[in-house]
Amino acid sequence: MKITNLQGPHHIGHTDQKNSQPISGAEFKNLLEAQLQSVSSMSAAAATSQASSASHVPAALRIESLSVAETTMNSLESFGSALNDLRLPAEDLEPFVEALEEETGSILELKEKLPAGDPLAVLLDRVATVSYVEAAKYRRGDYQ
C-alpha cells in the first residue's frame, strides 16, 4: 500500500516558501545547537532557583529528613511483606503500624521546618501520606 501526502510536505514552525526545502546537515546542526542552548539556559535558571531555596535549609535538617523518609519507606515495605505472610495473625502487625505512626509524626515535624515550596517538603508530605493511610487502614480493620 502506497501512502501519499495529500497536503504536501509539512515543516513545523516554517511557513516561508524558502524553508519548504529540506534542511541540510549544517543547518540542522545549527538549529539543534540553538534549541539545546535554550533548554540548557532554562535548566540552569531552574537549578539556580532550587539551589537558592535549598541554601536556606541547614544540611543537617535535610539529611535527617531524608533519613526519616527512607526509614519510613523501609517500614512500609516491611509492613507490606508482613501483610503478604498469611500465616501472621493481624495482632502481629501492630508493631509495624506503631512504627509507621511514630515515623509519620516525625516526618510531619520535620516537614514543618522546611519552606513550603521545597521539593524535600513535597517528598516528606507524600511519604507521610502513604504511611498515615496504611496505618489508618489497619486501625479501621481493613487487614483483619
pLDDT in tens, 54-112: 558 889 999 999 999 999 999 999 999 999 988 888 888 999 999 999 999 999 999 99
Environment class of 116 (CB within 10 Å of its CB; exposed 0-12, middle 13-18, buried 19+): exposed
Query: Where do the structural domains in the chain lie, given as residue ranges?
Result: 24-51, 57-140
Rounded Cα distance, 15 and 21, in Å: 11
Q: What is the pLDDT of residue 22?
A: 65
Mean pLDDT, the chain, rounded, equals 81
Q: What is the pLDDT of residue 23?
A: 63
The whole-model pTM stands at 0.60
Rounded Cα distance, 18 and 21, in Å: 7
What is the per-residue DSSP string for 115-142?
Answer: -TT-HHHHHHHHHHHHHHHHHHHHHHTT
For residue 2, the SS3 value is coil
CATH of 57-140, one of 3.40.50, 1.20.58, 2.160.20, 1.20.120: 1.20.58
C-alpha distance across the termini of the chain, in Å? 61
What is the per-residue DSSP string for 88-114?
Answer: S-GGGGHHHHHHHHHHHHHHHHHHHTS
